[in-house]
């Protein structure tokens, strides 16, 4: 390639002056203002682009109306009226139309809570009623040790509420129930003469506990009718009561053991305390799941689609009844 000698005219010089630049040079010190031809060329395009962008965003934000039988949404997924009807009738034993709005509202609140728990637990066996019943236990089980009371919490609860761990006098008793007095008198005579009371109960008694030898377990004052208690707490361990008339027959009691009124030790009270604290923790955890769904706007109730006047706690706007 032949190089152009220094100082020789350029290719553009030979064909005339170079074309003017697209934009005129900006003199020093002048303001940067786009020429009219640039504004005319791009201004309309920017305007229409902005309009289209706003219209597109509005179309994306507009939610389609849910199906007419949708009465609520949880995480954007519909809750159907037919599902609540099934839940209500299985719990109330009658249709919604035959029930008071306050009753239906209360059960609707329970239904929504259980539905939130079911979806949180991601249970889907094909039977929503079963899944709703199983969901709370599944959620609590997943939390594991976080919901189990510690030894320190048990000790603190025991010391804070000493009145809860007092027990009145208790008696461990067994009974024989007969339809006719003569039959009851014969059973009592045999028991008083040394026959095995449990065996007599299994062969003679007509009570549901006959197969257990008539054992009622430990009873406290106030657990049984006063005439039964009076006869039982007069006995000494091993003694048999006289025949006592009952509503549909006659009873004979045997006192197996008794315990005086006392205060449970911490070790004795621990199982009850652990159960109580575990239930309280589970209730708070499950309640927190429902509160989060409401607070974060993941629960939406269409009260105007309900076939009753809804006055429950999930009213739009978070109003309480």
In the chain, DSSP finds a helix count (H) and a strand count (E) of 10, 9
| CA angle in degrees (0–180, nearest 5) for 317-319-321 | 150
Give the whole-angstrom CA distance, residue 205 versus residue 216: 13
Q: How far apart are CA 301 and CA 290, in angstroms?
A: 14
Selection from 170, 48, 109, 168 nearest residue 306 by Cα = 109
Please give the average per-residue pLDDT across 135-149, as a whole number: 93
Sequence ranges of the chain with CATH classification 3.10.50.40: 169-260
Cα four-point dihedral sign 204, 210, 211, 215: negative
Arithmetic mean of pLDDT, 297-321 = 81
Taking each helix axis as running N to C, give the angle between helix 128-143 and helix 101-121, from 0 to 180 degrees, rounded to the nearest 10.
60
pLDDT digit string (tens) for 19-62?
555 445 555 555 545 455 544 554 555 555 555 565 555 555 55
Averaged pLDDT for residues 86-98: 94
| Phi then psi dihedrals of residue 215, to 5 deg | -70, 125
Mean pLDDT of 138-144: 93
With a pLDDT cut of 70, the percent of the chain lying above it is 78
**Is pLDDT larger for residue 147 or for residue 22?**
147
Q: What percent of the chain is helix, strand and coil (3-state, nearest 5)?
A: 50, 15, 35
Q: Tokens at residue 118, please?
A: 């079911």
pTM of the model: 0.61
pLDDT band at 320 (very low <50, low <70, confident <90, very high): very low
Write the pLDDT tens digit of every residue in 164-218. Answer: 999 899 999 999 999 999 999 999 999 999 999 999 999 999 999 999 999 999 9
Q: Output the CA angle 67-73-76, nearest 5 degrees.
A: 95
Q: What is the pLDDT of residue 247?
A: 87
The pLDDT assigned to 12 comes to: 45
Fold assignment, 169-260: Chitinase A; domain 3 (3.10.50)
Judge whether 90 and 129 are in contact, CB under 8 Å.
Answer: yes
What length is written for the chain? 321
d(CA 182, CA 297) in angstroms, rounded, equals: 71
Residue 24: per-residue pLDDT: 52
């Amino acid at each position: 390639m032949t190089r152009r000698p220094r100082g020789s005219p350029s290719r553009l010089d030979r064909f005339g002056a170079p074309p003017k630049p697209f934009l005129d040079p900006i003199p020093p010190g002048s303001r940067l203002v786009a020429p009219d031809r640039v504004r005319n060329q791009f201004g309309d395009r920017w305007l229409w682009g902005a309009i289209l962008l706003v219209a597109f965003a509005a179309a994306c934000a507009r939610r389609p109306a849910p199906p007419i039988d949708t009465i609520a949404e949880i995480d954007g997924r519909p809750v159907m009226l037919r599902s609540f009807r099934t839940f209500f009738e299985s719990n109330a034993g009658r249709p919604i139309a035959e029930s008071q709005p306050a009753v239906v509202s209360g059960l609707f609140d329970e239904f929504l809570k259980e539905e939130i728990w079911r979806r949180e637990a991601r249970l889907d066996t094909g039977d929503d009623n079963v899944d709703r019943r199983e969901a709370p236990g599944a959620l609590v089980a997943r939390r594991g040790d976080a919901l189990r009371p510690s030894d320190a919490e048990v000790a603190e609860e025991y010391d804070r509420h000493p009145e809860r761990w007092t027990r009145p006098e208790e008696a461990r008793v067994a009974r024989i129930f007969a339809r006719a007095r003569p039959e009851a008198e014969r059973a009592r005579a045999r028991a008083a003469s040394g026959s095995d009371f449990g065996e007599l109960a299994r062969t003679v008694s007509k009570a549901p506990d006959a197969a257990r030898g008539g054992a009622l377990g430990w009873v406290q004052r106030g657990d049984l009718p006063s005439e039964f208690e009076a006869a039982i707490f007069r006995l000494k361990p091993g003694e048999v009561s006289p025949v006592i008339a009952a509503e549909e027959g006659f009873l004979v009691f045997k006192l197996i053991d008794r315990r005086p009124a006392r205060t449970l030790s911490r070790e004795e009270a621990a199982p009850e305390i652990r159960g109580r604290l575990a239930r309280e923790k589970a209730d708070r955890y499950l309640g927190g799941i429902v509160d989060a769904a409401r607070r974060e706007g993941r629960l939406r109730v269409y009260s105007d689609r309900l076939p009753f006047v809804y006055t429950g706690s999930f009213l739009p706007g978070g109003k309480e009844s």
